Structure 1
Amino acid sequence: MKLSLNLRQCAWMVVVGVGFWMTACTKDPEVTPQSPVGSTPSKADQSVNNWILENMREVYYWNDKIPANLDTTQDPESFFYSLLYDYTNKANPERDRFSWIQPSADELKSSLSGEEKTTGLEVQYFLRAQGSTDVIIKVLYALPGSPAAKAGLKRGDIITSINGQKLTTGNYASLAYDPTTFNYGLAKLENGKIVDTDVVKTVTAEVVQQNPVFLDSIYAIGGKTVGYLVYNQFIPGPNGSATPIYDQKLEQVFSKFKARGVNELVLDLRYNPGGYVSSSVKLASMIAKGVDNTKTYYRMEYNKDVMAEIAKENQTDDLITRFQTKSQNIGGNLSRVFILTTEGTASASELIINGLKPFMPVITIGETTYGKNVGSITISDETGKIKWGMQPIVFKSFNALNQSDYSTGFTPTIAKTEPLAVKQLGDIDELYLNTALSQITGSVTARISAEQGAKLPAIGSTVERRAGGSNMFIERKALNF
């Protein structure tokens, strides 16, 4: 048997979103494409569908669940989703809710490296009041140097209108995503109430490359030296760059942590839907206690056909990815690690949590994570004749203790939900960070009890949408059995 995709010797695994998704308010990507009524499939569509089916039968994790009776006359998008395991059955947490396909393989690859056309805002949506159809947008953060940041938008800002239209449940998705230029109408909080203002910020979307190392700080508090890192996507370097600039920045941060004697770590993955596992391995290798390149970080399991070939060739060691021996490792000074989470904390972020658990206590603060213990590969046509790109699930991951029981997410050790009024990231009064610092110092401060303010019904966030459209993937290489 000859496989055209290397599903074993993986250098990369990623969990990323396709753009800042603004179109839904559930955790699952709601994609149920339909062919136009009365449409006639083209020969090109038939060719694409044959290509899709051939690859899916070979590498798809649930290839034994591909339906026997298939309609290959559908458009490629509809056909692809018709192959997915139990895709529409929300009662099944083990179903495939993560595989996806795009008309442009080039755009797919760019998005996986953090490059996209965007204003630079990461946001959360709320109903303006219980039972209301009015919607507000809270800014979680603005990418440094992005159009939004240059316009003065920042974490905690509240948007109630776009291009002169008040946001509602019927229009917020299209207004927040469709235009290129956005006139954001802002509101403010007064005595816990949302009050519209005359302030308008005008922002034009442009292609932005995200630097995932958002913020790092060191705090000397309660006799402890606390390192704090906000890391928003697992990306080695800018799109198209052969230099892992962002990985190098991570190493610089941990070199500083080590030099300053950091003995408590708070890793903020609230807004991280995932990223390249090569970066995940590096980060985990600088945190875990007592690890080196002989210790297992995670193990992969593929479909039965691939696993049979691997066993036949006695190459099961290729299923294991080990930690790296890193001079920047601070695990020797740590007795535990605190990780801040939301429902958008997914995949490679969850891989960090699962991979560290066998080696040290992991205390999570925030919300239940997304629940993604599976990964995928990027598949494109090497001849260039087919322009589509697809990202099918091809494996499931397990930690060193053979654990992979988080398809419904990791329940937080300490449950917290961000209030509408928020402090800036890195501020010791900010709710999540302050909760971690209070655990570290052993004193519950007055700041924790001040977790008050407007509590509105949340209806989704761009972080969750990025998580819903994300996957762990492994790089394609030639493989011969």
Structure 2
Amino acid sequence: MRNFFVWRSALLFMASSLLVVTSCKKSTDVTPTGPVTDKEVNGWILDNMKTYYYWNDKLPVNPDVSLTPDVFFKSLLNTYDVATNPTGDRFSWIQESADELKASLNGETKTDGIEYKLYLRTASSNDVIGKILYVQKGSPAAKAGLKRGDIFYQINGQTLNTGNYIDLVYSTSDTKTYTLASVDATNAIVNTTTTRQTTAVVFQANPVFLDSVYTIKGKTIGYFVYNQFATGPTGADDHTYDNQVDAVFARFKTKGVTDLVLDLRYNPGGYVTAAQNLGSLIGKGVDPSKIFYKKEYSKTLTASLTASYGADWFNGYFLQKSSNIGANLRTLTILTTGGTASASELVINGLRPFMDVTTIGSTTYGKNVGSITISDEKGRIKWGMQPIVTKTFNSLNQSDYSTGFKPSVEVKEYSNEVWKQLGDVNESMLSTAIARITGAGRVAAHADGPTFELGSSIDRRAGRSNMFFRDKLPAEQH
């Protein structure tokens, strides 16, 4: 993707959420002719920000429309600052191509199929390593033999360091050769000469990654790895992936699952409707009369929406799902990391009023706000933007996770340990969950010590820390 608006760090591309809105001028407006100018794009941006932006009361009085669109968009934001504006905007974002934006939100990107985390090799070193979190099934990386836990220290023959890793890892070159390292018996990272070559392709990732059922010490444990809240490969009206999730829970119900481990450790968010579907399959004692989430908009948009649709429009309800396993569940455990964001956090927050939710791993990302995709329905302006438009709450009006959900039990993934594959009962997070469920009191051994994280490919995925809404807004707002 080109010309992402990058403003948090060189590694972190903030993609926001779902509701796809097409913007149009009032019928009395005259469509400009000739080439599209930055000033025209900026006018379109400002009009929409005045209408939809959650902090529209904080927009600058006289913004500089002579700026390029990406810089102009940034100049409008109620920018987050940890000291002076801790509840400000960390997530709004703009992209030059609305079409590429929409495709990426449904899981389609040009990739070789690896998701990875980057680390300093040691505290005192400038060397950088990448460690593979998981590999997309059927991707070029899977076909090349790469797998979770593989470590790479060179790309195309160049050793990664703090001065070059951004250019090498995020290179636009389609073909990459990874030189691998391994972890020895002393938990030291050792270079090898083994290489794996991949060539990126336009790839549709399926978020329904893995499901298993284990019978351990008399407990029937369902395990589900879900990596993005995407409803289907062609957009919000395609429910291919939702139907696959339904099928997973139908199997869990048939097999009598009484304890669920939901693995959201690498799930950065996505469509709220997909989160609503998942929550409705898990919740105990839920039905379409029970509130899963509530939304809060700017005062001006709230007034307009209330006038058009009534106060209940702001509530999202559970769905009636025949495959719901809530009545049979003894325990619900959710595996989390800093990559667990937005719609993933909405599931945690939305289920807590109805059942105990244990989290294992590390603190989640902390995003209790959502955004919409805005594009020009006339197609004249090619830009697409993702402004924050709403804040979410659960049925108890709780929305206190802007700094993330701290885990009930902390388990980290260390760079200098051998990682088991997802679904392996000896994998560190899963084994901890199983031990708590079965009362075993013992978990698989793993490394301990400092780990020096630089970033992750999850940070750059479309949908990162996003919730996507598909709300019908009043006609006068378009």
Structure 2 length normalisation: TM-score? 0.90
* Among 409, 416, 436, the residue aligned to 1:439: 436
1:118 aligned residue: 111
Determine if the alignment matches structure 1 residue 183 to structure 2 residue 177: yes
Moved more, 203-212 or 329-338: 329-338
State the match for 1:271 in structure 2.
266
Q: Provide the rounded CA distance (Å) in 2 between the counterparts of 1:241 and 1:393.
A: 19
Q: 2:201 aligns with which of 206, 214, 218?
A: 206
Matched residue SS, 2:302: helix
Give secondary structure in 1 for the equivalent of 2:289: coil
Q: Which amino acid aligns with 1:300?
A: K
2:128 counterpart of 1:128: no
Q: What's the counterpart of residue 61 of structure 1?
A: 54
Number of residue-to-residue matches in the alignment: 449
Query: Which whole-Å CA distance do the structure 1 matches of 2:304 and 2:92 have between them?
Result: 24
Using structure 1 for the length normalisation, give the TM-score: 0.89
Q: Where does residue 77 of structure 1 map in the other structure?
A: 70
Q: Which amino acid aligns with 2:395?
A: A
1:27 Cα shift?
Answer: 6.7
Instruction: Report the 3-state secondary structure (helix = DSSP H, G, I; strand = E; otherwise coil) of the residue aligned with 2:232.
Output: coil
Counterpart of 2:282 in 1: which secondary structure?
A: coil
1:252 aligns with 2:247: yes
Please tell me the residue identity of whatever aligns with 1:380.
S
CA distance in 1 between partners of 2:9 and 2:198 (Å): 22
One-letter code of the match for 2:439? G
- C-alpha deviation, 1:313, in angstroms: 4.7
2:379 to 381, 384, 393: 384
Contact conserved, 2:120 with 2:454, CA < 8 A, in 1? yes
Q: Report the equivalent of 2:79.
A: 86
- Partner residue of 2:43 out of 37, 50, 75: 50
How far apart are residue 366 of structure 1 and its match?
A: 0.6
Matches within 5 A, 1:306-321: 306-313=301-308, 315-321=310-316
Distance 1:469 1:225, change over 3 A: closer
For 1:390, the aligned partner's letter is M
Q: CA deviation at 1:170?
A: 1.1
Q: How many angstroms apart in 1 are the aligned matches of 2:83 and 2:452? A: 22
Map of 1:3 onto structure 2: none
Identify if the C-alpha distance between structure 1 residues 258 and 396 changes in structure 2 by more than 3 Å, giving closer, same or farther: same
Would the aligned equivalents of 1:235 and 1:275 in 2 still touch at CA under 8 Å? yes
Of all paired residues, the percent bearing the same amino acid is: 54
Report deviation, 1:310: 3.2
Which residue of 1 is the match for residue 222 of structure 2? 227
* Kept in 2: contact 1:188–1:196 (CA 8 A): yes
Q: State the Cα distance separating 1:109 from its structure 2 match.
A: 0.2
Matched, 1:349 2:344: yes
- CA positional deviation for 1:307: 1.3
For residue 294 of structure 1, give the secondary structure of its aligned residue in structure 2: coil
AA in 1 matched with 2:345: E
1:480 Cα shift? 3.6
Q: Does 1:107 align with 2:100?
A: yes
**1:212 touches 1:235 (CA, 8 Å); kept in 2?**
yes
SS of 1:275's partner is strand
Question: What amino acid maps onto 1:135 in structure 2?
Answer: V
| Distance (Å, rounded) in 2 between the aligned partners of 1:407 and 1:229 | 26
**One-letter code aligned to 2:231:** P
Q: Deviations over 1:335-363 (max 9, x none)?
A: 33100000010000000000000000010
Contact 1:139-1:154 at 8 Å conserved across structures: yes
Q: What letter matches 2:434 in structure 1?
A: L
Q: Does 1:143 align with 2:139?
A: no
Give distance in 2, aligned partners of 1:176 and 1:67.
37
Distance 1:219 1:161, change over 3 A: same
Question: Any conservation in 2 of the 1:344–1:467 contact (CA below 8 Å)?
Answer: no
Q: Which runs of 4+ in 1 moved over 6 A?
A: 25-28
- 1:156-201 CA-partner distances (Å, limit 9, x unpaired): 0010000000000111111011121101000111221111111111
Which ranges of structure 2 fall in alignment gaps of 5 or more residues?
16-34
**1:314 to partner: Cα distance:** 6.4
Aligned equivalents of 1:293, 1:226: Cα separation in 2: 27
Residues 1:157 and 1:244: Cα distance change in structure 2 (over 3 Å): same
Preserved CA contact (<8 Å) 1:343 1:464: no
Alignment of 1:332-343 (within 5 A): 332-343=327-338
Q: Deviation digits for residues 91-114 of structure 1, max 9, x if unmatched?
A: 533110100000000000001000
Deviations 1:191-246 (A, max 9, x none): 21111111111101111101001000000012110000000001111135954211
Give the unaligned 5+ runs of structure 1.
1-17, 31-41
The residue number in structure 2 matching 1:424 is: 421
- Segment drifting more, 307-316 vs 379-388: 307-316
How far residue 469 of structure 1 moved from its aligned partner, in angstroms, is 4.6
1:475 deviates by: 2.6
Q: Quick one: which amino acid aligns to residue 129 of structure 1?
A: T
Say yes or no: does 1:464 pair with 2:454: no
Is this contact kept in 2: 1:344–1:466, CA < 8 A?
no
**2:23 matched to which residue of 1?**
none
Question: Following TM superposition, by how much is the alpha carbon of 1:88 offset from its aligned partner in structure 2, in angstroms?
Answer: 5.4
| Counterpart residue number, 2:388 | 393
The corresponding residue for 2:89 is 96
Shift of 1:455: 4.7
* CA root-mean-square deviation: 2.2
Pick the aligned partner of 1:413 from 391, 408, 411.
408
